[in-house]
Amino acid sequence: MKALLAAIMIAGCLLTGAAPPAQARDLIVSASERGAYRSVQAAIDALPADGGVVRIAPGTWREKLTISGPGVTLIGTGKRPDATILVYGDSAKSAGGTFNSATVTASGDDLRIANLTIQNDWWLVPGNPPSQAVALSLTGDRAVVTRVRLLGHQDTLFANKGKNGRMARHYFSNCYIEGHVDFIFGNAKAYFRECRIHGLAHGDVWYTAQSRASAEEDSGYVFDRCTLTADPAARNVSLGRPWRDYASVVFLRTRMDAQVMPEGWREWYPGTSNRLPTTRYAEYRSFGRGANPAARAAPARQLTREEAAGWSLRRFFDGDIGWIDAGLKQLRRG
């Protein structure tokens, strides 16, 4: 009887043009489809307390989104990730700080995103001053992001711990992430597999600014079989700089097609700060024009095969990867 009533209610909504009730777990966002939500945030807000799926039609959705509840899944329904674009244009200067600038701010656990683009276009507006401008701020645990484009300039992706210092685990696969200054930053435990990381034309490009603050913290970024590229006009291209003293970044089997400077890593403030000595920076079998193991800045290391095995996906997450498998399985179904 409950199922019949729910079906009648949904059918009624489709006839009247009203949004479907929250009990319908897959909510549709479309500018033209009858019965669909007309904004992404409205659909997110209509989900049950334990989350659900929001399917977003192709188009450009200019919204600033907040996802605070658990179990939310966002899926673009176009043929490619560039068909569905979530975009906004705030910055640290306009929004009162870097952490208020994100186009999408997601603090809920078990977030899943696939087949869409998240963009911060602050830098593309003539007359806007240079500023931090986040596309995706991700602080919930067990996030799975696949086939997603993250577009920005300075501070594109904030992959960080959750509230009260709770560690957050993130998994990215087959994504495209672009920017220039510190554009993948924060202190999450994040694994990037087969992603393309692209540096935009700028006087200084830092792919990462990881912020592990102590040797005891179980955090860091791992890039596995990724590809690093950069615009020809990009200058001083480096793998990263330490936002905090114990920054941890490891590149495994990474194709470095970008013009990475020979030393690879840079000090936070050259000549002023002294953070490199306590960092955990390492590579294993990097290749391409930007790979230069003999010239890397100390104490960055080239890992042995046995050491690299310690940074595999399963080892990195201490054997707990069921949440990744479940997330990818759902997102592959579409």
Does the annotation count 182 as an active-site position?
yes
| Catalytic entry in 155, 224, 231, 245 | 155
pLDDT at 163: 87
Strand partners, 44: none
Indicate the residue type of 300: A
Strand partners, 172: 145, 192
CB 100 within 8 A of CB 90: yes
Helix, strand, or coil (residue 124): helix
∠280-137-109 over CA atoms, to 5°?
90
CB 51 within 8 A of CB 45: no
pLDDT at 8: 42
Strand partners, 196: 176, 227
pLDDT at 10: 47
For residues 174, 179, 180, 186, the Cα torsion angle rounded to the nearest 10 degrees is -70
Ramachandran assignment for 5, one of left (phi > 0), alpha (psi -120 to 50 degrees), beta (any other) = alpha
Q: Among 165, 263, 150, which Cα is nearest to 206's?
A: 263
pLDDT at 44: 99
Contacts of 132 (CB under 8 A, 6+ apart): 91, 92, 98, 101, 154, 155
Using a cut of 0.75, tell me whether the model's pTM lies above it.
yes
As to burial, measured by CB atoms within 10 angstroms (0-12 exposed, 13-18 middle, 19+ buried), residue 124 is: middle
Other beta carbons within 10 Å of 303: 17
Q: How far is residue 239's CA from residue 302's CA, in Å, rounded to a whole number?
A: 14
Give pLDDT tens digits along the chain (334 positions): 444 444 444 444 444 344 544 444 699 999 999 999 999 999 999 999 999 999 999 999 999 999 999 999 999 999 999 999 999 999 999 999 999 999 999 999 999 999 999 999 999 999 999 999 999 999 999 999 999 999 999 999 999 999 889 999 999 999 999 999 999 999 999 999 999 999 999 999 999 999 999 999 999 999 999 999 999 999 999 999 999 999 999 999 999 999 999 999 999 999 999 999 999 999 999 999 999 999 999 999 999 999 999 999 999 999 999 999 999 999 998 7
| Catalytic entry in 90, 141, 182, 224 | 182
Token pair 């479309």 is at which residue?
30
Instruction: Specify the CATH superfamily of domain 60-333.
Output: Single-stranded right-handed beta-helix, Pectin lyase-like (2.160.20.10)
Helix, strand, or coil (residue 254): coil
Contacts of 265 (CB under 8 A, 6+ apart): 238, 239, 240, 241, 276, 279, 281, 296, 297, 300
Q: How far is residue 151's CA from residue 258's CA, in Å, rounded to a whole number?
A: 18
Does the annotation count 320 as an active-site position?
no
